[in-house]
Structure formats: C-alpha cells, structure tokens
A and B are shown apart, each in its own frame.
Chain A
Amino acid sequence: MLMPDLKTLRLTAATLSLALLTAACSSSGSSDDNAPADSFDRAAMLTNYSDQLIVPGLRELSTEAGQLSAAVAAFTASPSVATLQTARTELREADLAWQAVSSYEFGPAEQQMLRSNLNIYPTSTSQIESNIGAGTTDLSTSANLAAKGFPALDYLLHEGATPEAVVAKFAASAKRSTYAKAVAAEIKQRTEAAYNGWLAGGYTSTFRQATGTAVGSAVANLVNQLNADIDMTKRFKVGIPGGRFTAGTPQPLKAEAPYGNLSLELLKRNVQAEKNLFLGQAGTTNGLGLDDYLTHVKAQYNGKPLAGVIEQQFDAVLAAINAVPGPLTQAVATQPASVNKVYEEFQKLIILTKTDLPSALGVSITYTDNDGD
C-alpha cells in the first residue's frame, strides 16, 4: 500500500495550484469568439435530406426505371427504329436519374447494392453475348455484375453501325430480346425496392433517428458515401478512361456509357448531384445541408469559410467538365489536357471533402466499427 503521507499531499497541492495558475494566465491571454451561437438543428438537416433529396430522387429513379423497362419490352416486342429510339431515350433518362442518387448508398440502397447491380462498367460484352447465347437470365450471380445494369443496356441498345443494325440484331434473336428485358426488369425491381425501403420499409425514420456522427449515423453515412461517390466518379468516369492508372494510355471503352456517348452528360449530372448533397439543395431550393453544418461549426480553410471553398471547388470541377469537347471517348485521346484538368480539379475537391470536411464535423472516414484511443 502506498502511504498517504504529507509529502504526497503537498505534491498534489503543488500540482493543483500550478495547474490553476496556468489556467488563469492563459485564459486571460486568449480571446476566442468562435463559440457557436446556438445549436445546429441536425434533425432538420436530416429531414431535408430524406424528404427533399433522397426520397424524391429514388421515386424519380424508380419511375424512370419503370418507363425504361416498359420501353425495352415494347422495343423487343416489335423491334423498329422508332421503338428503339424510345428505349434509348428512356435509358438516358433513367441513367441520369441514377446519377442523381448514386451517393446515397446506405440503408435500402445498400441492401439492394445499387452501385454494383446497376452500374458496373466497363461492361463485359463477351459475358453479355455468352449469356445471350446460353439463354441465361439469372443475373444475380456475381459473375454477371459486369453484364447487366445501365452499362449492359448501353451496349445492347447502342452498339451497331446504325440504328437499323441494332434493330436487326434484336429481330434476329429472341434470346437477345429476353436478355435485354431481364436486364431492364432487374433495374426496375431493385430501384423500386430501394424506394419502398425508405417509405414502407420505414428507413426514413431510422435515418432521421440515427443522429450523432459515429459510424452508422446519418451524418457519417452522408459524408462517407459522398466521398465514396466522388472517389468513384473521379476514378471510373475520368481517371481510368483518361489513362491515369495505365501510365497515360487512354482507355476510351472503359468510360461510362461509351456506346451511347453519354459519358460527359452522366458525369456532369453526377457531380451536380454530389454538389447538391453537399448543399442540401433540391432543385433550386437550398435547404439545410452539410455546408450549413460546416458554417455552424465555423470551419475555416486558409482564413476563408470551408463551406464556400468546397462549393467553389465543386464549381471548378463542373467548369472543367464543361470545357471538355465531347464525347469523352474521343477527348481522352484528342484533348487529354482538358480531361486531365477535370481530374486535377477532382483531386483538389476530394482533399477538401475527404480530409477537411469530416475532420471539421468530427466524422470519422471509415466504413467499419473499430476502436480508437
């Protein structure tokens, strides 16, 4: 047993008074006006996200997916240039609706694994053709992840010298029609399931009640999935086709939707959606979002409000995309500097969103539960 002697007590007293003295000195010397005025209404922010951005976005996606599925069915029932054009239009609209919600991969969307099931590219044309040949329509196996979703339909509906050539392929093969219908039907089924999960499944209240910023909270999900999405946008939509990961050799066919030449339009919609997520913006209405939360905690970046710096960087990315002469599949070879510029603006954006943003909000960038100290 240690002795509770006078020496110990004196030492304790000395330490105590030293600490108090230091406290007094430094508190008089520090002037701090960074105190948050009043509490930030995180619940209102989450309600804005669920009611104005996520649920309407998923509703739009499942509606568009339904129309896509119907248009593909109509086209395969009577293949013609007219029905093909309708199917192509619906594909474009559904794919654009997907870009608007790809950031929200948690809860029902994560259960449906929308990112993997809807949009793995480059699509495997050989796997698609062999599936068609074998009459395979079970798309649930992991081997078929790169043979379905929007990229597969982009290939099936667009690959061919002329629309007539595409129509001819379908007219000649019932199996091809069956496969395209199965692909469109799966998109419809999964997007409907994700949408219903937020409504009937009750995920809306789960989301709003998951307050705090720990792993699994709504804010952590938003921040982490926003970053995961920006990371994928940068890498798959720009970096890989631009040759960033292949020592500078462009890979045009690895772009998103290369057959229908939708790459740039999808990219732009996706970045706009990521910006909207950051701002909490639905249409032209700017509600409570992560930017307001940053403003509330007075997050600074080199003397400027961090929220404004991030918003400007989103705009810089969008401006760089606008400066790329389309289509992307050609620009990567003929205008590499313009594509590189997009990539570089993305790098700057992701440093801010992945490093400064979560740090300022006390959100840990992690996808699994683990201990810290």
Chain B
Amino acid sequence: MLPPRKPTSWLMRPVSAAPLVVFRVLFGAMMLASIARFAAKGWITDLYVAPKVFFPYYGFEWVQPAGAVGMHVVFSLMALGALGILLGAWYRWSAVLFFLAFTYVELLDKTNYLNHYYFVSVVAFLLIWVPANVQFSLDARWQPQRWRATVPQWAGLLLRTQMGMVYFFAGVAKLNPDWLLEAMPLRLWLPAHTDLPLLGWFFDQLWVAYAFSWFGAFYDLTIPFFLSARRTRYWAYATVVVVFHVLTAVLFQIGMFPYIMMVSTLLFFPASFHEKLLGWGRRLLGRTAATPVLASESVFAPVAAPRGLVVALGLWLLVQVLLPWRFVLYPGDLFWSEQGYRFSWRVMLMEKSGTAFFYVRDPRTGHETEIRNRDYLTVTQEKQVATQPDMLLQFAHILRDDFRRRGVPNPQVRAEAYVTLNGRSSRLLINPKLDLAQQQEGFGAKAWILPLEQDEPAGK
C-alpha cells in the first residue's frame, strides 16, 4: 500500500472492526477464566488475605488490601468487568472497572509481580480507549445506532504495537552473555524434564539448551515482524506461536500466560479471518445479519475519536518503548541488582534464589536477635525478599517498625543475604553490616548492593 500522505488521516482511516471485536471477546473470556482459576486455587486468600505484611510499590504505599470480604468483592467486581468486556455490555465502564480492580490487586504486593499480570493491566488500560464494542456486543444490540462496520486504523495498530513490544523486548533482554554464551538458565531448567515421554532424553543434552536459548531470542525478536507480514503470518503462527507457547506451557510453571499470548497474537491476522470468526459466532447465537436492521450510511463511518486521545496514546507507546531501557541509568549488573528490572518484559531470564538472615539489634543493650522470617512472611514473600534489594529494604523497615512498636526505640536492622544467579556460587547480595533501618527507598541507585564480579561467567 501507498505510504500515507498525512499520518493523522492514515491513523483515522476506517478499517474493519472485526479484529478488535474478536480480541475483545477473547480477552474478556481469558480474563474470566483466569479469575476463576485464581479463585479456585484459593489464591485470593493465600496471596491477599493470609499474609501479615505486604510489599507495595514505591510511591504506591497507600494501596492497601481490603480484608477477606473486601478482597473477594474486588475479585467479583473484576470478574464482572471481564464479563462486561466479553459481552460488550456497558463496555467502556466494564473496561474501566476491570482495569482498576486488576491493577489495584497487582499494586498490593510486588511479591506477586509477573510480566503477564503487567501485560493484562496494560491491555486493560488500552481497551478503555478503543471502540471494541461496535459489533457483536450487547451495547450494539441495545443501541443499534452505535453499530459500526469499521473502526479507525489507530485502534488495532495500538494493540498490535503493544503486543509486538512485549515480544521484541523479551527478545532484546535475551541478548546477554548468560543467555547466549552459557545457555543459562535453560541449562539448569531443561534437564529437569528428562522424564517427559519421547522427548525426555533430549532435555539432558547441552546443545538443546543452547538451541532453545538461541531459538527463543530469535523468536521473540522477529515474531512481531513475521506475524505482520502476509506471506509468513499463518506459517509463523501455526509452527511458532503454538509450538513455542505450548512448549513453554509444558516445561515451565507459568499458568495462563502461554494461552493468553496465543489468543492475543490473533490480532495480527487479517480482517477476513476475524470476519469469518464473527460469522461463526453469530450463527452460533442464531443471529443472521452482521448489520442491524436499521442500517444507515453512518454504520460505515468509524467512531470519531478526539485527536488529543490519539496523541496521548502515541505518547503512551513512547513511554512503553523507553521504560525497558531505564536500567542503563543504574550501575552494576541488572539481573543482580534488579534496578530497573520490572515492567520491561524480562521473562524467564534468570535462575536466582537466595537465603536471607535478618538481625535486629537493640543499640541500648548491644544484643542482637535473629529474625525468623516466616513469623512475618509467606513462603513466596520470603523467597522474593531474599533476592530483590528493594524488598530486602522493605522487610528491614517492617522489622524496624515492629520492634519500635514493641518498645525498642531505635532498632538497627541488618541482613545477610546470599544469592545465586544463573548457577554462580552463592555470595552476599548486600553489605551485611549496613543498618538498613537508616536507608531510604527511592529511584536512586542503591550504593549498598555489592557488585557481582563481572569476570566470572555463569555456572561457576
């Protein structure tokens, strides 16, 4: 096609609404299933009711859990929002409700941070702004004048660009010596699967770990482009998206993520494919016509969107492009210090685990008491605290405040945290003598993180 003469008119150009509508339905359905799974596993209570303490994000300390009843109400509202998205009922309000409920839950405790939860928050936010309810929705059924055959170009482009960035940055993150030169951490993870039928022996071979690493990096970097190109699209989807994500679902414990991605990448398929899907859907529901009876010429004009919104969403994408690079502003090894690690699509990149001992000293007596972490933390919280400096600091402050309440005026808190990263021998993560009670959280670099010796390769 011809290059656009004016970018804004190109962005506003009407295109078929079908891909966006199909995405809305599938996303709503996946979210509803995810919430049901989450609740069925008892995770609402395990993760948001049972813990004694929480680890909010810097600047979001005011986000607090709502108690047993409250949290179940929040998840019910979240499910209601997902259902509204699926059915296209009061669509924009449903999207807002889902986004707020989901993001609220994610902000409660960074222990539970997962890239795929962040992805859901991001997509939910974008869904608020796109007209994904113009067809195959209760909104269009209740108010036929809102039915449209088309949506403006920018709406689908926005979601595809966001999707593409997820893969691309996941690929960029794999371009590091551990991943490419040492096949870490796949070299540690794959041999655990030698018991799988037929392919089992395969996972014990070192070359397989290298092949998977290189294929993974290549796949993530290129799949957005292969999916965008007409000639490679179906081939790429069938052999690669399905094989890749099914394989990761089998090998790793990553819940719904592979399925969400498999469904979301359908966005790259042409409108004709989605029209067909919607046709089947309508037949299934016993609806015959794609257009309502009261068709008029207005149905072929896309919903107008204020130009300001398009500009704002463009800025959003710019922020999304820049955010994964913020780590360059911090000194030291990114995987080791995790400064600038989150919100950057760094998926399954490291085998990192640690053991942390916390000590509280009463300066009046000089006596030091070791802390039993599990008196305060859940298993998962303890695990995350041991390897992430910002969480180490948060826990130290929790201890400081708790000892103050118990009558120690100026408790000193220090931590011995031993961490192994991608097979390297465990070593101290932070200065074990430092009084963490005195340190402040912030966006600045944490000078008390000890360096990871750069000359030592992974696996030694």
Which residues of A line the B interface, CB within 8 A? Answer: 1-5, 8-9, 11-12, 15-16, 19, 22-23, 26, 30, 32, 34-36, 38-40, 42, 211-215, 235, 239, 244-248, 297, 299-303, 347, 350-352, 354-356, 358-373
Q: Is the CB of B188 within 8 A of A359?
A: yes
Q: Which residues of A contact B418 (CB under 8 A)?
A: 351, 355
Any chain A CB within 8 A of the CB of B8?
no
A371 to B383 alpha-carbon distance, docked (Å): 14
Of the candidates A247, A300, A363, which one forms a contact with B460 in the assembled complex, judged by CB atoms under 8 Å apart?
A: A300
The stretch among B101-109, B132-140, B347-355, B444-452 that forms the contact with chain A is B347-355
Q: Is the CB of A245 within 8 A of B370?
A: yes
Any chain A CB within 8 A of the CB of B231?
yes
A34 to B207 alpha-carbon distance, docked (Å): 10
Q: Which residues of A contact B355 (CB under 8 A)?
A: 350-351, 354-355
Q: Is the CB of B214 within 8 A of A23?
A: yes
Q: Is the CB of A362 within 8 A of B254?
A: no
Q: Is the CB of A214 within 8 A of B270?
A: no
Q: Which residues of A contact B218 (CB under 8 A)?
A: 16, 19
Q: Is the CB of B379 within 8 A of A35?
A: no
Any chain A CB within 8 A of the CB of B61?
no
A236 to B273 alpha-carbon distance, docked (Å): 64
Q: Which residues of A contact B160 (CB under 8 A)?
A: 2
Q: Is the CB of B114 within 8 A of A42?
A: no
Q: Which residues of B contact A215 (CB under 8 A)?
A: 253
Q: A42-B195, A351-B426 are in contact. Are A214 and B206 (CB under 8 A)?
A: no
* Minimum distance in angstroms from B378 CB to a CB of chain A: 9
- Chain B residues 342-387 with CB under 8 Å of chain A are 347-348, 351-355, 357, 362, 365, 367-370, 372, 379-380, 383
Q: Is the CB of A1 within 8 A of B271?
A: yes
Q: Is the CB of A371 within 8 A of B423?
A: no
Contact digits for B245-285, partner A, Cβ 8 Å, 1 yes 0 no: 00000001111110000000000101100000000000000
Of the candidates B221, B353, B357, B379, which one forms a contact with A347 in the assembled complex, judged by CB atoms under 8 Å apart?
A: B357
Q: Which residues of A contact B372 (CB under 8 A)?
A: 235, 245
Which residues of B line the A interface, CB within 8 A? Answer: 1, 15-16, 19, 41, 43, 46, 114-116, 156-157, 160, 180-181, 187-195, 201, 204-207, 214, 217-218, 221-222, 225-226, 228-233, 252-257, 268, 270-271, 347-348, 351-355, 357, 362, 365, 367-370, 372, 379-380, 383, 416, 418-420, 423, 425-426, 459-460
Q: Which residue of the partner chain B has the closest CB to A30?
A: B181
Q: Is the CB of A371 within 8 A of B425?
A: no
A319 to B220 alpha-carbon distance, docked (Å): 52
Q: Is the CB of A362 within 8 A of B191?
A: yes
A183 to B191 alpha-carbon distance, docked (Å): 46
A-B contact pairs, 23 of them (CB 8 A): A1-B271, A2-B157, A2-B228, A4-B230, A12-B225, A19-B218, A26-B180, A35-B205, A36-B204, A36-B206, A39-B194, A39-B204, A211-B195, A214-B192, A300-B460, A351-B426, A354-B355, A355-B420, A355-B426, A363-B192, A366-B380, A367-B379, A371-B253
Q: Is the CB of A244 within 8 A of B369?
A: yes
* Minimum distance in angstroms from A2 CB to a CB of chain B: 4
Q: Which residues of A contact B190 (CB under 8 A)?
A: 362
Q: Which residues of A contact B193 (CB under 8 A)?
A: 212
Q: A34-B206, A356-B426 are in contact. Are A247 and B369 (CB under 8 A)?
A: yes
* Minimum distance in angstroms from B85 CB to a CB of chain A: 22
Q: A35-B206, A356-B425, A372-B252 are in contact. Are A365 and B362 (CB under 8 A)?
A: no
Of the candidates A211, A247, A366, which one forms a contact with B362 in the assembled complex, judged by CB atoms under 8 Å apart?
A: A247
A359 to B271 alpha-carbon distance, docked (Å): 46
A42 to B196 alpha-carbon distance, docked (Å): 12
* Minimum distance in angstroms from A211 CB to a CB of chain B: 4
Q: Which residue of the partner chain B has the closest CB to A350?
A: B355
Q: A42-B195, A215-B253 are in contact. Are A4 and B229 (CB under 8 A)?
A: yes
Of the candidates B187, B253, B379, which one forms a contact with A372 in the assembled complex, judged by CB atoms under 8 Å apart?
A: B253
Q: Is the CB of A34 within 8 A of B459?
A: yes
A368 to B42 alpha-carbon distance, docked (Å): 11
Q: A4-B228, A8-B225, A42-B195 are in contact. Are A372 and B354 (CB under 8 A)?
A: no
Q: Is the CB of B225 within 8 A of A36?
A: no
- The tally of CB-CB contacts under 8 A between chains A and B is 171
* Minimum distance in angstroms from A356 CB to a CB of chain B: 5
A23 to B201 alpha-carbon distance, docked (Å): 25
A26 to B175 alpha-carbon distance, docked (Å): 12
* Minimum distance in angstroms from A308 CB to a CB of chain B: 13
Of the candidates A355, A364, A366, A373, which one forms a contact with B347 in the assembled complex, judged by CB atoms under 8 Å apart?
A: A373
A368 to B426 alpha-carbon distance, docked (Å): 24
* Minimum distance in angstroms from B362 CB to a CB of chain A: 7
Q: Which residues of A contact B351 (CB under 8 A)?
A: 359, 362
A369 to B425 alpha-carbon distance, docked (Å): 27
Q: Is the CB of B15 within 8 A of A1?
A: yes
A297 to B423 alpha-carbon distance, docked (Å): 11
Q: Which residues of B contact A303 (CB under 8 A)?
A: 460
A361 to B252 alpha-carbon distance, docked (Å): 14
A12 to B236 alpha-carbon distance, docked (Å): 13
Q: Is the CB of B192 within 8 A of A356?
A: no
Q: Is the CB of B204 within 8 A of A40?
A: yes
Q: Is the CB of B379 within 8 A of A366?
A: yes
Q: Is the CB of B225 within 8 A of A362?
A: no
* Minimum distance in angstroms from B407 CB to a CB of chain A: 13
Q: Is the CB of A19 within 8 A of B221?
A: yes
Q: Is the CB of A244 within 8 A of B370?
A: yes
Q: A1-B271, A40-B204, A372-B253 are in contact. Are A355 and B353 (CB under 8 A)?
A: yes
Q: Which residues of A contact B204 (CB under 8 A)?
A: 36, 38-40
Q: Which residue of the partner chain B has the closest CB to A3?
A: B1
A297 to B206 alpha-carbon distance, docked (Å): 10
A144 to B193 alpha-carbon distance, docked (Å): 43
Q: Is the CB of A239 within 8 A of B370?
A: yes
Q: Which residues of A contact B214 (CB under 8 A)?
A: 19, 23
Q: Is the CB of B420 within 8 A of A356?
A: yes
Given contacts A214-B253, A370-B253, 9 further A-B contacts (CB under 8 A): A1-B271, A247-B362, A297-B188, A300-B425, A355-B419, A362-B190, A367-B379, A368-B379, A370-B380
Q: Is the CB of B460 within 8 A of A32?
A: no
A215 to B379 alpha-carbon distance, docked (Å): 13
Q: Which residues of A contact B41 (CB under 8 A)?
A: 369
A363 to B115 alpha-carbon distance, docked (Å): 21
A214 to B196 alpha-carbon distance, docked (Å): 12
Q: Is the CB of A352 within 8 A of B225?
A: no
Q: Is the CB of B228 within 8 A of A8?
A: yes
* Minimum distance in angstroms from A23 CB to a CB of chain B: 6
Of the candidates A235, A246, A359, which one forms a contact with B423 in the assembled complex, judged by CB atoms under 8 Å apart?
A: A359
* Minimum distance in angstroms from B273 CB to a CB of chain A: 10
Q: Is the CB of B379 within 8 A of A19?
A: no
A14 to B333 alpha-carbon distance, docked (Å): 29
Q: Which residues of A contact B419 (CB under 8 A)?
A: 355
Q: Which residue of the partner chain B has the closest CB to A29?
A: B181
Of the candidates B221, B348, B383, which one forms a contact with A365 in the assembled complex, judged by CB atoms under 8 Å apart?
A: B383
* Minimum distance in angstroms from B453 CB to a CB of chain A: 11
Q: Is the CB of A2 within 8 A of B268?
A: yes
Of the candidates B192, B226, B271, B426, which one forms a contact with A352 in the assembled complex, judged by CB atoms under 8 Å apart?
A: B426
A362 to B420 alpha-carbon distance, docked (Å): 12
A151 to B188 alpha-carbon distance, docked (Å): 42
Q: Is the CB of B460 within 8 A of A11?
A: no
* Minimum distance in angstroms from B450 CB to a CB of chain A: 15
Q: Which residues of B contact A370 (CB under 8 A)?
A: 43, 253, 380
Q: Which residues of B contact A248 (CB under 8 A)?
A: 367-368
* Minimum distance in angstroms from B228 CB to a CB of chain A: 4
